[in-house]
């Protein structure tokens, strides 16, 4: 996939079918990830999810600015999406599970 953040910005000529082919997914999956998209009226410049984020980013309550922790979680989520695109989601989940087990046993990678 081209975007590490699991998003695609609509360009002239894009269709859900062409995006499904480009990102090795299905129109059905794109519609599931983007329930409010107008199938025959994609808006140039708008963005679509092209894959599911491994972890959902926390949304701060209305009127509150994101905290440093929120920004850190967003960065980690983007990095995990990129890793999943490069190595596959199953492999990334297995790596994370291994790291968490090591940490819970007192072993740190550094």
Residue 53: predicted pLDDT? 61
CATH of 7-49 given 3.30.70.1070, 3.10.350.10, 3.40.190.10, 3.30.750.24: 3.10.350.10
Q: Let me know: does 96 contact 108? Beta carbons within 8 Å.
A: no
pTM of the model: 0.46
Count the alpha carbons within 13 Å of 2 in the hemisphere toward its beta carbon: 9
Listed by start position, the domains of the chain span 7-49, 55-110
The alpha helices in the chain, defined as continuous H runs, are 16-22, 27-33, 68-87, 89-104
Burial of 72 (0-12, 13-18, 19+ CB in 10 A): exposed
Residue 10: predicted pLDDT? 93
Neighbours of 88 (CB within 10 A): 11
Per-residue pLDDT of the chain (110 residues; tens, 9 = 90+): 333 468 899 999 999 889 988 888 888 889 888 988 888 889 999 989 888 765 555 555 566 666 677 677 777 777 877 787 778 888 888 888 888 788 778 776 65
Residue 63: predicted pLDDT? 63
Q: Whose structure tokens read 């740190």?
A: 108
Rounded Cα–Cα distance for residues 48 and 46 (Å): 7
Rounded Cα–Cα distance for residues 39 and 43 (Å): 10
């Amino acid at each position: 996939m081209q975007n590490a953040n699991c998003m695609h910005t609509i360009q002239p000529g894009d269709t859900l079918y062409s995006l499904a082919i480009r990102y090795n997914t299905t129109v059905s999956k794109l519609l599931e990830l983007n329930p409010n998209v107008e199938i025959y009226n994609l808006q140039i410049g708008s963005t679509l999810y092209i894959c599911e984020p491994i972890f959902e980013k926390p949304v701060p309550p209305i009127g509150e600015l994101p905290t440093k922790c929120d920004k850190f979680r967003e960065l980690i989520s983007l990095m995990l999406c990129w890793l999943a695109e490069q190595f596959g989601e199953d492999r990334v989940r297995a790596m994370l599970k291994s790291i968490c087990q090591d940490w819970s046993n007192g072993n740190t990678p550094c």
